[in-house]
């Protein structure tokens, strides 16, 4: 095929696939996760610095489609058959960036319930700490400590137990605790951390039973909905105290 034909094929791909993703999201039986939009809509990444200038939703959508067509068309024009390999790589990366299914996360919580309860117990013993990971902790005043720091509020033994519990539960990004409410987020990341601005955190939110009636703090704890999904932030309530959480990379971890 001529390069002109390859360009038209690539441009057509850049126009059709984003439109197909939107149709599936609105009418199909599956949720299209933000990673798929970002990978197959390079226009979103290219135009991200200029988002404030694109006030019209319709105009922004048309510009993004045009940029998609140009980017994929140029890639197809230059790579020709190599463009097919690019598509295959994008599909593989998209698969690796997907979080586990809700059913699998629910099973994991059930199996690791005692370990999560121990993490909650330990975190409540040091209420001044808002973030605890395997290698670093942070207090409510923004002070950070690394393992081995002389002024660390955690003993070496306590830190070692945290690491073991986070490893067993699979929450490699650690836990975030609200000093005001005692609510907690336990987070990890998908198989591939991120590609540029693309990446997903997932895990669990814990809402202390005594605060459930107050409806304050983290979104899954203060909302009455059992399921919430706005694309880059999603949760499903498992019980009054627990919810599955998914956060796309571009959103704040503390919400």
Q: Do 89 and 139 reside in the same domain of the chain?
A: no
Q: Do 87 and 112 reside in the same domain of the chain?
A: no
pLDDT attached to residue 165: 95
Q: Do 127 and 73 reside in the same domain of the chain?
A: no
| Residue 220 domain boundaries | 102-248
Residue after which a domain boundary falls, among 79, 97, 115: 97
pLDDT attached to residue 169: 94
For 170-189, write each residue's pLDDT tens digit: 998 899 999 888 999 999 98
Q: Do 40 and 163 reside in the same domain of the chain?
A: no
pLDDT attached to residue 138: 93
Q: What is the pTM of this model?
A: 0.73
For 210-231, write each residue's pLDDT tens digit: 655 556 788 899 888 898 887 7
Range 233-238 contact pairs with CB under 8 angstroms and sequence separation of 24 or more: 235/205, 236/102, 238/106, 238/109
pLDDT attached to residue 253: 43
Q: Do 224 and 170 reside in the same domain of the chain?
A: yes
Contacts of 136 (CB under 8 A, 6+ apart): 144, 145, 146, 147
Q: Which residues of the chain have pLDDT under 70?
A: 25, 28-30, 47-58, 191-199, 210-215, 249-255
Residue 229 falls inside a structural domain: yes
Helix (H) or strand (E) holding 159: helix 156-169
Q: Do 53 and 91 reside in the same domain of the chain?
A: yes
Q: Do 117 and 214 reside in the same domain of the chain?
A: yes
Q: Do 120 and 46 reside in the same domain of the chain?
A: no
Residue 12 falls inside a structural domain: yes
pLDDT attached to residue 196: 44
pLDDT attached to residue 52: 63
Q: Do 133 and 240 reside in the same domain of the chain?
A: yes
* Whole-number Å distance between alpha carbons of 32 and 23: 10
Number of other CB atoms surrounding residue 133 within 10 Å: 18
In the chain, the number of structural domains is 2
Q: Do 91 and 165 reside in the same domain of the chain?
A: no
Q: Do 21 and 137 reside in the same domain of the chain?
A: no
pLDDT attached to residue 119: 95
């Amino acid at each position: 095929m001529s390069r002109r034909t390859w360009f038209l094929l690539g441009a057509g791909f850049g126009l059709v696939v984003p439109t197909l993703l939107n149709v599936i999201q609105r009418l199909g039986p599956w949720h299209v996760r933000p990673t798929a939009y970002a990978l197959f809509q390079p226009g979103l990444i290219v135009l991200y610095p200029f988002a404030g200038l694109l006030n019209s939703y319709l105009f922004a959508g048309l510009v993004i489609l045009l940029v998609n067509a140009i980017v994929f068309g140029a890639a197809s024009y230059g790579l020709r058959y190599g463009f097919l390999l690019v598509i295959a790589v994008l599909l593989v990366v998209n698969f690796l960036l997907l979080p586990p299914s809700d059913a699998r996360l629910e099973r994991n919580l059930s199996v690791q319930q005692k370990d999560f309860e121990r993490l909650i117990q330990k975190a409540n013993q040091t209420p001044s700490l808002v973030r605890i990971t395997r290698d670093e902790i942070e207090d409510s005043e923004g002070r950070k400590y690394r393992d081995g720091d002389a002024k660390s509020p955690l003993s070496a033994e306590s830190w070692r137990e945290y690491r073991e519990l986070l490893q067993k539960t699979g929450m490699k990004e650690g836990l975030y605790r609200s000093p005001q409410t005692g609510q907690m987020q336990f987070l990890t990341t998908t198989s591939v951390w991120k590609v540029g601005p693309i990446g997903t955190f997932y895990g669990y939110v814990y809402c202390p039973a005594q605060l459930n009636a107050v409806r304050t703090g983290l979104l899954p704890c203060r909302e009455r909905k059992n399921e919430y999904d706005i694309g880059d932030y999603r949760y499903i309530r498992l019980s009054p105290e627990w919810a599955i959480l998914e956060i796309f990379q571009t959103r704040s971890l503390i919400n």
